[in-house]
Amino acid sequence: MPKRGCPFADAAPLQLKVRVGQREVSRGVCAERYSQEVFDPSGIVSIACSSCVRAVDGKAVCSQCERALCGRCVRTCWGCGSVACTLCGLVDCSDMYEKVLCTSCAMFET
């Protein structure tokens, strides 16, 4: 039995993957809020968090990749107590409570 043809023919739009980078985010729907969080009122650029792109409010830095972090994205390793970002921290949900492990401690846990 032959395959059925596409009922939409040429009317269907192409479904392509679109890469969204920093430039697209800064020009997008929340551009005004984004620019207020990243830029100080004086116009001086502040450092942005590597995980959520908010302005960094402290001096927290990921111990694995050394990227700047805001207070919301700081995760403390359960094993060694070092600071890890959302990319480098592994959340272990096997116990009753979640525990965050940095990449160094995660190698020894498995």
52: domain CATH number is: 3.30.40
**SS3 assignment, position 78:** coil
The per-residue pLDDT for 21 is: 74
Looking at residue 82, its pLDDT comes to 92
pLDDT for 43 equals 56
Per-residue pLDDT of the chain (110 residues; tens, 9 = 90+): 777 776 666 666 666 677 777 777 667 766 666 666 555 556 566 678 878 878 887 788 888 888 888 888 888 998 899 998 888 888 888 888 888 888 888 887 65
Total of domains in the chain: 1
Residue 60 lies in a domain: yes
Q: Tell me, rounded to whole angstroms, the distance of Cα 13 from its chain centroid.
A: 30
101 found inside a domain: yes
Domain coverage including residue 99: 45-105
pTM of the model: 0.52
Q: How far apart are CA 89 and CA 80, in angstroms?
A: 12
Domain membership flag for residue 76: yes
**Does residue 27 come out as left (phi exceeding 0), alpha (psi in the -120 to 50 range) or beta?**
alpha
Q: In angstroms, rounded to a whole number, what is the distance separating the alpha carbons of residues 39 and 53?
A: 11
Domain-located, residue 59: yes
User: How many whole angstroms separate alpha carbon 40 and alpha carbon 36?
Assistant: 7
